[in-house]
Amino acid sequence: MSKLILATVGILLLLISSSNASSNSNYWSLANQFLVPQNAARYALRMRPMQWDPNLARYAQQYANKRRYDCELKHSNGPYGENIFWGSGNGWTPAQAVMAWISEKKSYDYWSNSCSGGQQCGHYTQVVRSRTRRVGCAKVTCFGGRGVFITCNYDPPGNYIGERPY
């Protein structure tokens, strides 16, 4: 990961983790907790930032609410691009989920347009897809101590076979 991304996201994570969960919203809106690290990854590639879309956020929230009961890592199979995340416990932040997705950059080989060594990189390529303009995300704490489910939806969607993200 580039030094710029690491520095930007490091500052964001420091600010978010230094405040408690209830005061988090005083420092960062939920949208910015998702947007800042994703747009930092895009900025490192000299791409336009994505904009927060309330309709995509509603879609993400509706789907996250369905996953609240079982916390399964299943995609919605809807009309948008989608990244999903699950973490045990209840302390996961949007920025941590996004960082997990962005960290897949190390497994993406641009020249072969594929993930190296059987690793995942599709979450990363969805975040940095150059044609994607809008994003909306949601986070829920699952019932029965099953963890945290986080999802982001992207429009227009990406990750088409044979198409490079940028």
Least confident of 18-22, 89-93, 94-98, 111-115: 18-22
**Closest CA relative to residue 92, chosen from 29, 36, 13:** 13
pLDDT classification of 3: cutoffs 50, 70, 90: low
Alpha-carbon distance of 112 to 116, in angstroms, equals 9
The answer to whether residues 84 and 64 touch, using CB atoms and an 8 Å cutoff, is no
Flag whether pLDDT at 10 surpasses 60: no
What is the dihedral angle through the alpha carbons of 91, 126, 62, 149, rounded to the nearest 10 degrees?
Answer: -20
Q: Which DSSP symbol is given to 135? A: E
Alpha-carbon distance of 115 to 92, in angstroms, equals 26
User: What local confidence, expressed as pLDDT, does residue 28 receive?
Assistant: 58
Flag whether pLDDT at 112 surpasses 80: yes
User: Which amino acid makes up residue 140?
Assistant: V
Is pLDDT larger for residue 129 or for residue 21? 129
Is pLDDT larger for residue 27 or for residue 113? 113
What would the pLDDT profile of 113-160 be if each residue is shown by its tens digit? 999 988 999 999 999 999 999 999 999 999 999 999 999 999 999 899
Alpha-carbon distance of 118 to 49, in angstroms, equals 29
- Average pLDDT, integer, range 2-8: 50
Alpha-carbon distance of 94 to 116, in angstroms, equals 26
| CATH superfamily membership of 53-155 | CAP (3.40.33.10)
What would the pLDDT profile of 43-91 be if each residue is shown by its tens digit? 999 999 999 999 999 999 999 999 999 999 999 999 999 999 999 999 9
User: What local confidence, expressed as pLDDT, does residue 100 receive?
Assistant: 98
- Average pLDDT, integer, range 84-113: 97
